[in-house]
A and B are shown apart, each in its own frame.
Chain A
């Protein structure tokens, strides 16, 4: 029998060193210094980002995809900065390599993630949660822990899948094998990267709303988005069936059944567009 608290320590130690994961792009450190410096203009920050063509291309592609839903094409870093805000832009830069991995390793998880991002944006706008772009970005990252499991814990990942196929509940399977689940792993890394606490809490509570303390609306938004995207059958995760829904989301978000219907109906055209986005990426990679 595996000692899960020992395993947990070992996993966290490995996460601290980020073994097997692409390290943060060097531009991130420079960017952090520039952002902190009050004398630096947004223009100068945009200049720095644009010098890195690979990152610029990736960020603009994400900025233009349907989950943010801007009517006009975002064609420069300055525009992206204005439309998405500095926080989101920074997160997209930091995590651009992670998105590449999700896409290559597990298209189903990538589709699920962008679906949740789109849905979270719709719900955030409807329920007037501050900075819907940030919430969409948290949606994009909510299963970050799964990516880490696949890349940095390959063997364990196979064991988890085996346990689930024997009928174990997915979160329990992860805890049995790794000592912690993907929501915890994702939040752990986001904290290491100094991402906003609001987003970390939402990611950590996306399967267990009761873990949320300060940012209940944000957490409820991700939880409901995750369930709705599963219910619609867009993408694939460890859950073959629709995961459990905490009924308190409706009260926290102040949503009634007709409003849930509106959300489901406005999500559909977004998912339709996102499928083309994924296909385009697939073609480029093959």
Chain B
């Protein structure tokens, strides 16, 4: 799944979860193929993000888990302070969690 700003959403993409407006009202269920008309409606009702199935858009700034971990090590190179090392472990946890869910289906 991929969460994208409305401007990145194209007709034909399939919703991964419900689409809700800013007040939490459900506009569309999950597993629905998005049409041109639905996009217009989302825009009118102030939807800013939609989560779709798969990873239809390549975001050039997104890194792989390997890259993330390598850069994390580099940023913490030589650091021995205990609190910072704990923060490093938390970020590792975050990364593993993040990549567990964003693997292409």
A-side residues, CB < 8 A to B, are: 71-73, 227-228, 230-233, 240-242, 244-245, 247, 250, 257, 260-261, 264-265, 268-269, 272-273, 275-276, 279
In the assembly, what is the distance between CA of A269 and CA of B97, in Å?
Answer: 13
Are B3 and A230 in contact, CB atoms less than 8 angstroms apart?
no
- The residues of B that contact A250 with a CB separation of less than 8 Å are 83
A-B contact count (CB 8 A): 67
Contact of B46 among A73, A231, A242, A260 (CB under 8 A): A73
Instruction: Flag the segment in B10-18, B25-33, B34-42, B87-95 that touches A.
Output: B87-95
Instruction: Supply 15 A–B pairs (Cβ within 8 Å), ascending by A.
Output: A72-B23, A73-B48, A230-B75, A231-B87, A231-B91, A233-B71, A241-B78, A242-B79, A244-B81, A245-B87, A261-B93, A264-B91, A273-B5, A276-B5, A276-B8
Q: Are A260 and B87 in contact (CB under 8 A)?
A: yes
Q: A72-B46, A241-B78, A276-B5 are in contact. Are A231 and B94 (CB under 8 A)?
A: no
| Contact A241 B79, beta carbon cutoff 8 Å | yes
Given A231-B76, A257-B86: 11 more A-B contacts, CB < 8 Å: A230-B75, A231-B88, A231-B91, A233-B71, A241-B75, A241-B76, A241-B79, A244-B81, A245-B83, A245-B87, A272-B3
Q: Are B83 and A240 in contact (CB under 8 A)?
A: no
By a CB distance below 8 angstroms, the chain B residues around A247 are 81, 83
Q: A257-B86, A264-B90, A275-B61 are in contact. Are A242 and B22 (CB under 8 A)?
A: no
Residues of chain A with a CB closer than 8 A to B71's CB: 233
Count of chain B residues near A, Cβ 8 A? 30
* Residues of B participating in the A interface, judged by any CB pair closer than 8 Å: 3, 5, 8, 22-23, 46, 48-49, 59, 61, 68, 71-72, 75-79, 81, 83-84, 86-88, 90-91, 93-94, 97-98
Q: A interface, by DSSP: helix, strand, loop or mixed?
A: helix
In the complex, are the beta carbons of A261 and B76 less than 8 A apart? no
Chain A residues within an 8 Å CB radius of B49 = 273
CB-based contact B84/A242 at 8 Å:
yes
A-chain residues with CB within 8 Å of residue B90 when the two chains form the complex = 257, 260-261, 264
Contacts of A275 in B (CB 8 A): 59, 61
Nearest residue, chain B, Cβ from A263: B90
Q: Distance in Å from the Cβ of A220 to the closest Cβ of chain B?
A: 13
In the complex, chain B residues whose CB is within 8 Å of the CB of A232:
91
Minimum-distance CB pairs A-B, first 6: A72-B22, A71-B22, A261-B90, A276-B5, A231-B87, A264-B90
Across-interface contacts of A265 in B (CB, < 8 A): 94, 97
